[in-house]
Amino acid sequence: MTPQPQVLCFGEALVDRLGPPGGDPATDRPVDDCLGGAPANGACALARLGTGSALLGRLGKDAIGAAFRELFQARGVDTRALQWDPLRPSRTVLVRRDRTGDRSFGGFAGDRGDGFADQAVEAAALAAPLQELIATARWLLVGTIPLASEASAAALRLALERVAAAGIPLALDVNWRPTFWPISAEQALASLQPLLAAAALIKVSAEEADWIAGSRDPQRISASLPQAPAVLITDGPGALSWWLGGQVGRLEAFQVPVVDTTGAGDAFLAGLLHRLCQEPQLLASASAERVLEAMRFASACGALACQGAGAIDPQPTQAQVLAFLADSGSQNDGSMGGC
């Protein structure tokens, strides 16, 4: 049986159009169209690991939407809060890949003049299914892209209000993508402040940490916010650092053959939320060893996701993650401390 949703993922589901390594996906061929979008990636990764998830968002009534419907059904992602737009298309993002598999975002395809479906989530239509989902939810996972559009921002605010009233913690993946925003980085950062001040857990890349806090010290970033959240800082092939459960730590990345880094951070965060659903006490107070074990698990999820094209297809099961960790032995032991 499909497990009841424990993590509600709010935001975009879209297609990542991957260009050939070193090429331009707008003009060069071949391209690889992969289903993606950070919240959709997270929901699918959680479901594959065995933690029930739901996607709260909006897709077009088009071929991309149909492909997602089939994917979510196959993965067991709850879609009762997923809306279907009869006018706006689902979004296609043009993704450049360099020769090492690292990616950058370079615009969109498919806009017919009214924007994309993910920009038009309706708050009124979200209210009833969200109230049903809250009954089993343990986390709300959001990114920042919904804030870039007025309608989706209003729907996100509704979700935040409802889960806060129910005592459900917020996990924030900053996921800064300038291509999606019609305003300056400074204006966008100002609009992010309520999310930063509400989150129980914040994941940022090293560059995003510089942007939001001028620091790559997770404990310092946590102390700068009123609720003192857990903070995770990822750095691609570099080290992961964290402040979580009263523990500070650092973990070198697993060394794996990389095909495509798209979605690796989403798989990592899904892996950690999977562990936090199993061991909720890790968030407040935990031994350094238990936190490190959870971080190694999450890091392995990200590493395995890098070994295939696209964000969703290569996502691992829990059994695959545990097998990978067993084969890795003492690699990636990490360093840690307490406070």
In contact, 20 and 28? CB cutoff 8 Å: yes
Cα Dmax for the chain: 54
Q: Check residue 310 and give its pLDDT.
A: 79
Provide block-wise average pLDDT over 10 residues at a time, the chain (339 residues): 92 90 81 92 98 98 98 97 98 82 77 95 98 97 97 98 98 95 95 97 97 97 97 93 96 89 92 97 92 97 90 94 88 54
Q: Where are the alpha helices (DSSP H) in 134-217?
A: 150-165, 185-198, 206-213
The whole model's pTM is what?
0.93
Which domains are seen in the chain, by residue range? 7-327 (3.40.1190.20)
Neighbours of 193 (CB within 10 A): 11
Q: Check residue 338 and give its pLDDT.
A: 43
In contact, 143 and 173? CB cutoff 8 Å: yes
Structure-block tokens of residue 251: 């973990």
In contact, 145 and 13? CB cutoff 8 Å: no
d(CA 110, CA 79): 24
Task: Report CA 313 to chain centroid distance, whole Å.
Answer: 15
Q: Check residue 104 and give its pLDDT.
A: 72
Alpha-carbon torsion (206, 208, 249, 8), positive or negative: negative
In which region does residue 306 sit, left (phi positive, over 0), alpha (psi from -120 to 50) or beta (all else)?
alpha
Q: Check residue 28 and give its pLDDT.
A: 81
